[in-house]
Amino acid sequence: MTVDLFEKFDATLNNFRQLPEGESNPFTVSMEKILSPTEAIINGRKTILAGTNNYMGMTFNEEAVAAAQDALLTQGTGTTGSRVLNGTYNSHKALEEELKKFYGTEHAMVFSTGYQANLGIIATLAGPKDYILIDADSHASIYDGCAMGNATVIRFAHNDPENLDKRLTRLRKSDPEAGVLVVVEGVYSMLGDQAPLKELAAVSKKHNAYILVDEAHSIGVFGATGRGVAQAQGVEDQIDFIVGTFSKSVGTIGGYCVSNHPKFEVLRLVCRPYMFTASLPPSVVASATKALQIIANTNLREKLLANSMRLNKGLAKIGFNMGTTGESPIAAIIVPDMHQAIAFWGEMIKEGVYVNLALPPATPNNYNLMRCSLSAAHTNEQIDYMLEKFELVGRKLGILSDKALETV
């Protein structure tokens, strides 16, 4: 008898089958027409996009679009090859130069996605005799990078330098000579909380460990020139590797790693997720290069943070239980019950607001989340519309807590 390879997914399939059909199903929704970075037609209705990670609204930036169009016409639709074969064009090198300039680092390596950048860097750097210490709330790409490599993986409590110190102290007692890589994120994507990088970097250095920061949700958003949380917290000289993505504030697709390690370039010859996949299409490379230049010199950050505070504070004032308590472009409402969260999502889309429904196991503490990510391109009117609809639906579904969070 053939064993059904799909049997292990039966529970997931059953859950999926119980979801509402049609326009209220969060997993089958599609953008029928994109109108702008903040609006689309969904289910035939004009809808405000409140969950797209399009932090800087770069997807329709005129200069970035023009650069992509020009590259498309002059260099074609794709490279049809890996970076180590025919897939390195001058424009890929120019993008890496732009990244070096952006971060002020010696080295920059561009990957086809941020997911692959984490896979590649983590799995390659930490070998069989090495250790990786990761924050327990790390993104899937960090966990997958660990799974792909051969190092021993140790988790420490989320955003907890003391716990990291405890684990590193224990590790150094048993293995004083081992190579160690600590991996954290600048901003955590689900709740939008920031890492205490100063303390985490200090602990890492105390134990002679390297530290890598994934700035996927913080590039463009934080720091005087948009380099992220490491820049905002003034600890860039303490960070050994920064990984990031072009798929959020940069408005296109692709990933990267920057570093000052003198041997960094050897990774181009040993890092499999860099070598064994096709390189980014020239149009993507061109728009990423242009967007990076714009992001370094913009005042959009102020507008983005003002928008974020308007939404976060507004939601807390209405009485929602919020996951975010600091400055963050992410606003996450914690919904006690999963079915309530699914219903919440369905009602919001009918009211013309698209948010992200985030459910366990993809969420910290197994929260059911209505997650919003704000854009500098949102207007105050759009944010007020979101607030009005959140309140309306929250009351309708009986989700609103009595007490507003005072910390936001």
State the Rg of the chain over Cα: 22
- Comparison of 311 and 330: residue with beta carbon closer to ligand PMP: 330
Whole-number Å distance between alpha carbons of 294 and 292: 5
- Compute the C-alpha angle 212/235/189, nearest 5°: 55
- Among 245, 308, 324, 375, contact with ligand PMP (rule: CB under 6 A): 245
138 is catalytic: no
Say whether residue 114 binds ligand PMP (CB under 6 A). yes
Say whether residue 251 binds ligand PMP (CB under 6 A). no
Q: Which of 212-220, 281-289, 327-335, 395-403 is the region at the interface with ligand PMP (rule: CB under 6 A)?
A: 212-220
Task: Tell me the number of residues near ligand PMP by CB under 6 A.
Answer: 14
Whole-number Å distance between alpha carbons of 109 and 95: 9
Say whether residue 113 binds ligand PMP (CB under 6 A). yes
- Comparison of 143 and 385: residue with beta carbon closer to ligand PMP: 143
| Phi and psi, residue 242, nearest 5° | -115, 130
Whole-number Å distance between alpha carbons of 361 and 134: 17
Measured CA to CA in angstroms, residue 16 lies from 4, 155, 301 at distances of 19, 31, 38
Say whether residue 105 binds ligand PMP (CB under 6 A). no
Token couple for 230: 């490491």
Token couple for 107: 């080295």
Residues 136-175, mask of contacts with ligand PMP (x by CB under 6 A): ---x-x----------------------------------
Q: Which of 76-84, 157-165, 211-219, 394-402 is the region at the interface with ligand PMP (rule: CB under 6 A)?
A: 211-219
Q: Is residue 208 within 8 Å of 182, Cβ to Cβ? A: no
Of residues 253-292, those binding ligand PMP (CB under 6 A):
255
Q: How far is the CB of 77 from ligand PMP (least distance, A)?
A: 20
Q: How far is the CB of 71 from ligand PMP (least distance, A)?
A: 19
- In the set 92, 217, 303, 389, the catalytic residue is 217
- Among 96, 135, 137, 214, contact with ligand PMP (rule: CB under 6 A): 214
Say whether residue 120 binds ligand PMP (CB under 6 A). no
Q: Is residue 180 within 8 Å of 130, Cβ to Cβ? A: yes
- Comparison of 55 and 115: residue with beta carbon closer to ligand PMP: 115
CA 160 to chain centre: 20
Q: Is residue 370 within 8 Å of 357, Cβ to Cβ? A: yes
248 is catalytic: yes
Give the DSSP per-residue string, 44-112. Answer: TEEEEE-BS--TT-GGG-HHHHHHHHHHHHHH-S---SBTTTT---HHHHHHHHHHHHHHT-SEEEEES
Whole-number Å distance between alpha carbons of 199 and 12: 40
Helix (H) / strand (E) element for 179: namely none
Give me the residues paired with residue 368 across strands: 335
158 is catalytic: no
- In the set 91, 138, 189, 373, the catalytic residue is 189
- Comparison of 226 and 394: residue with beta carbon closer to ligand PMP: 226
Contact footprint for ligand PMP (CB under 6 A): 113-115, 118, 139, 141, 185, 189, 214, 216-217, 245, 247, 255
Q: Which residues are catalytic?
A: 189, 217, 248
